[in-house]
A and B are shown apart, each in its own frame.
Chain A
Amino acid sequence: MKRHLHSSLTMLVCFTLFATMLTGCKEEAEEPEPEPTTGAEMPEPEPEPVEPVAEPCVVGTVYFAFDSSELDSSARATLQEAVECYRGQPDPGLSLLLTGACDPRGTEEYNIALGERRAQSVRSYLTSLGMDSSRISITSVGEEMATGTDEAGWALDRNVSASEN
């Protein structure tokens, strides 16, 4: 569900604290402005100005080791890629829901808490990269959505996925 957020909130804020990661974020994200089209001054209609069509940014699903909520290098790269994408675009005014999940081999209660901790890990990392934590909510489905029956399947079950909230 889309939510209208205060205009002063921007999805992406550049933090000098993490300057090493900020290679592509030197200034506030620019609003690409369409060419002014004041029809009266234009003798003949021109083709619609082509607004740069930005691919929607996607926070890719990240995966975890057994009983772990640590982000490995692959997970960090996936999240960094998403943040870089957001930096290159105007604030879409969305908030994210991160859903943590586990493989089916634990106990149900512990896995619900572990899934939440995984989602917290992802939120912390995204926040550290400059995303606004107030616009990232988290939840956990524990092992309730797990489908794996072997190590390869379980590895896919242990994840945090993102959706627009």
Chain B
Amino acid sequence: MALIVFRRMVWGAIVAGAAFAALAFPVGPAIGQEEAQPLPEDMLVVDIDAPDEDAYRIGIARLIGEPASDAAIGGSVLQNDFRLMPGFRVIGPASVRHDSDAKGLGVDLGAWALLGANGVIKGLVGGNDTALRVELRFYQASGGEVPVLRQTYQGSPKDLRRWMHDFVNKVIGVVTGTYGPFGTEIAFARKHGPGQKSVYAADMDGYGVRRVSSGQGVSMLPSFGKGSIWYTRMTKQGMFITNTRAGGRRVIGGKGITMAPTICGERVYFTSSRSGNAEIYSSKPDGSGLRQLTRSRGIDVSPTCGPGGRIAFVSDRHGSPQIFTMNNDGTNVQRVTFRGSHNQTPVWCQDPEQPLIAFSGRDGNFDIFTVNVVTQEYKRLTQGQGDNKDPAFSPDCRLIAFASDRQGSSGVYLSGQDGLDQNLVIGGVAETVRWSH
């Protein structure tokens, strides 16, 4: 059953739908009941053509000046970033009928107001192939013709994209109070065939996809550490943990399986079966100072860092894989998910104000969910489009990246926390997405 919610309608459908959802899927743990409740159905969103009253409409004028190619790139980066950002709607240069160049870096707010713009970005590019200068201005409709943000970037043309991301982050900071996530990176693994898998990284907007593992055999399960990307290699000589700084050589190994590193502060958390069963361990980055954190008969895998030194992980100690949390010394273990039968690959929002864990829940196919660790409120982000799994939060938690094999357009997608604004940023087969912080 899908709950139909007419988004943006003003006569209370959202409220009614939410109330219905609450009735149909009461929240709260079903203590002592294994898999008592299914995962929540999707709230089918019918996007009717009505003004999005909540969205911030940002006008982005064509960047003026030379080199024209750099101006074009800069403008497209600005537009694309805001298109990926939940809560913003872009009014691009193509929408603008008046001469947006007429005032140079100044702004004709009246003309933009006709388009419903809440704010406008203007920019001027100057320089040549080796040295570039970009001046950017951000005007708010409420702020008149004095820019609320002005920034000049100077340096190598190769930094152009980074400058644009930086300015977007600052504009988002002005509008929402929280700096934006652009300029961060995403890592993921890609299967080329049986026994062939590599680790890749890219900018979070999908630019600059590059392989960071050797390209031979199986390299998988990436994670960001300080100045390097950690990952797992599966070789004929065994499985071990490595990183890009070590060039794929063994950094942490041991008997049985040793995999899935995640870096939390000064320690590495990972899964090992050196005791004969898959358990969560931590160690220093060189593998010394080993500590065993779980001791259950079940499979314990997929540790990830949370705020306040908490670790989320997956265990099937009660029968089927579910999400648990514990302190980083293995104490105070708590079960988090009580709905659905296969909940895996948890990832925390790092903002302590948003106690959210995103995970892959199996309900026929895998889909992306979040659960509020405190209130047990579940949200479904995907449904009915193939497998969607391995979520990762952006540093500000406003975006969730995940891998999808939806038909005809596999890849890494970004989504808002409510499942809206889903955008493909990296096409091609992908899995185990992680986000740099």
Contact = CB atoms under 8 A, between A and B. Distances in A.
Interface of A: 67, 105-110, 112-114, 116-117, 120, 138-142, 144-147
B214 to A, nearest CB: 16
Contact of A146 (B194, B257, B276, B345): B194
A109 B234 contact: no
Interface of B: 189, 191, 194-195, 197, 218, 220-221, 234, 238-239, 256-257, 259-260, 271, 273, 276, 278, 299-302, 314, 316, 320-321, 342, 344-345, 360, 366, 387, 389-390, 431-432
A108 B220 contact: yes
Binding site secondary structure of chain B: strand
B194 A109 contact: no
Contacts of A114: 299
Binding site secondary structure of chain A: mixed
A151 to B, nearest CB: 13
A43 to B, nearest CB: 55
A144 B299 CA distance: 18
B197 A144 contact: yes
A109 B218 contact: no
A104 B417 CA distance: 27
The winner among A110, A117, A120, A141 for most chain B CB atoms within 10 A is A110
A109 B195 contact: no
Contacts of B366: 107
B315 to A, nearest CB: 10
Contacts, number: 71
A120 B194 CA distance: 23
Given A110-B302, A113-B278, A117-B278, 10 more contacts: A67-B320, A105-B387, A107-B302, A107-B389, A109-B314, A109-B344, A110-B321, A116-B257, A140-B257, A144-B218
Contacts of A116: 256-257, 273, 278
A113 B344 contact: no
B280 to A, nearest CB: 11
The winner among A107, A114, A116, A138 for most chain B CB atoms within 10 A is A107
A147 B218 CA distance: 15
Contact of B221 (A109, A113, A117, A146): A109
B431 A108 contact: yes
A109 B260 contact: yes
**9 cross-chain pairs, A with B, having the tightest CB-CB distances, nearest first:** A113-B278, A113-B299, A109-B301, A107-B344, A145-B194, A109-B260, A109-B302, A107-B345, A144-B218
B234 A117 contact: no
Contact of B194 (A110, A117, A139, A147): A147
A49 to B, nearest CB: 40
A114 to B, nearest CB: 7
Contact of A110 (B273, B276, B301, B387): B301
